[in-house]
């Protein structure tokens, strides 16, 4: 048991229990919750939020934040859209899609790289830097699209957004693959190790020989790349791109990180609990929706839920420290 806890992290089992609880409660409340249709729609809705949360997670682990994720995703989506449109829109081939994807990821990476360089070498606070980048990208995007939608994509975009492989929706596959890569990156690579150390104490990390500036630069660059993937997925799901799409998700990604046990001050946290936290949030919103609740009510429930989890963590902390003192 203790070995399992160690392998999974202390947050995983409680969150898993909570997920089961939420699913059981909704399954009892409405027979429509555990249907293929509902599960399918959850599986299609989760990935965009999930990918954006992965983009938020690593900057938070390093003691920072990336407020620009939504507009990085939007601008990357726009880039893909323009490439597709210039190759004929609905008639664009796979080559155009591949080119557009590469260009979109490059745009995401570039916007991240700029933030990373400023954070690492100028030493500005990530909140300020990413806020500036967010406003810049939003303004730039709205200027170039005149606030309108861009649509008219080839069929391959439908496969990305709505297709499935062996019954598993493609967006979910993309998200799970990304989450697995994130897990390995954080737990098993030098970069991941550096992220945790930089998040705890960047000066001591530098004195220990870690290349902290390169680590910070890479963190924001990779964050921008995963934003681009999210942006492509959004374009595929809505079959259109508009600057401002997904704006409401920005703070939800922060919520999911904290719900998943990421230390708000950096240095501690894992991917798996965050994935579970995302599933809980998705189950709550879908379940309430099926019960006929208003979308706004489910947002309110998310907030309450995080407060409840914080209180619960505090209570568990008190309990374990008392037990430790008594033994």
Footprint of other proteins on this chain (CB under 8 A)?
6, 184, 188-190, 193, 196-197, 200-201, 203-211, 267-268, 324-327
Q: 88 and 59 in contact (C-beta within 8 Å)?
A: no
3 state SS of 96? helix
Q: Nearer to other proteins by C-beta: 128 or 204?
A: 204
The CA distance from 182 to 193, in Å, is 12
- Closest approach, Cβ 287 to other proteins, in A, equals 37
- Closest approach, Cβ 2 to other proteins, in A, equals 10
42: alpha, beta or left? (left if phi > 0; alpha if psi -120 to 50)? alpha
Q: Nearer to other proteins by C-beta: 161 or 273?
A: 273
- Closest approach, Cβ 192 to other proteins, in A, equals 8
Q: Nearer to other proteins by C-beta: 142 or 206?
A: 206
Answer positive or negative: Cα dihedral of 305, 125, 224, 153: positive
Q: 253 and 69 in contact (C-beta within 8 Å)?
A: yes
3 state SS of 151? strand
Q: 60 and 264 in contact (C-beta within 8 Å)?
A: yes
- Closest approach, Cβ 306 to other proteins, in A, equals 23
Place of tokens 């934040």: 65
**Six-digit token pair at 80?**
């893909």
Q: Nearer to other proteins by C-beta: 125 or 190?
A: 190
The CA distance from 218 to 210, in Å, is 13
Q: 61 and 195 in contact (C-beta within 8 Å)?
A: yes
- Closest approach, Cβ 125 to other proteins, in A, equals 17
Q: Nearer to other proteins by C-beta: 208 or 294?
A: 208
- Closest approach, Cβ 62 to other proteins, in A, equals 13
Q: 64 and 217 in contact (C-beta within 8 Å)?
A: no
Q: Nearer to other proteins by C-beta: 146 or 325?
A: 325
């Amino acid at each position: 048991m203790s070995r399992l806890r160690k392998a999974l992290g202390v947050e995983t089992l409680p969150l898993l229990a909570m997920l089961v609880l939420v699913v059981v409660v909704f399954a009892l409340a409405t027979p429509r919750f555990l249907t293929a249709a509902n599960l399918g729609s959850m599986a299609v809705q989760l990935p965009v939020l999930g990918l954006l949360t992965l983009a938020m997670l690593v900057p938070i682990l390093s003691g920072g934040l990336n407020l620009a994720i939504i507009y990085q995703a939007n601008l990357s989506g726009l880039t893909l859209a323009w490439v597709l449109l210039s190759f004929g829109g609905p008639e664009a081939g796979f080559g155009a899609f591949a080119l557009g994807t590469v260009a979109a990821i490059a745009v995401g990476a570039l916007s991240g790289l700029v933030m990373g360089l400023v954070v690492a070498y100028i030493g500005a606070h990530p909140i300020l830097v990413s806020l500036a980048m967010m406003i810049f990208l939003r303004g730039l995007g709205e200027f170039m699209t005149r606030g309108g939608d861009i649509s008219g994509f080839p069929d391959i975009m439908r496969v990305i957004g709505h297709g499935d492989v062996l019954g598993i929706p493609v967006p979910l596959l993309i998200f799970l693959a990304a989450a697995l890569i994130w897990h390995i990156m954080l737990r098993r690579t030098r970069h991941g190790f550096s992220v945790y150390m930089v998040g705890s104490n960047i000066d001591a990390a530098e004195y220990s020989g870690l290349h902290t500036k390169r680590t910070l630069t890479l963190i924001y660059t990779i964050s921008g790349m995963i934003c681009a993937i999210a942006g492509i997925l959004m374009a595929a799901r809505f079959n259109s791109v508009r600057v401002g799409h997904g704006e409401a998700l920005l703070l939800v990604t922060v919520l999911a990180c904290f719900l998943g046990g990421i230390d708000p001050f950096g240095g501690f946290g894992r991917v798996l609990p965050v994935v579970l936290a995302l599933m809980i949030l998705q189950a709550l919103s879908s379940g309430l929706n099926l019960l006929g609740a208003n979308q706004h009510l489910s947002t309110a429930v998310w907030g309450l839920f995080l407060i409840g989890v914080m209180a619960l963590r505090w209570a568990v902390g008190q309990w374990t420290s008392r037990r430790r003192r008594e033994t």
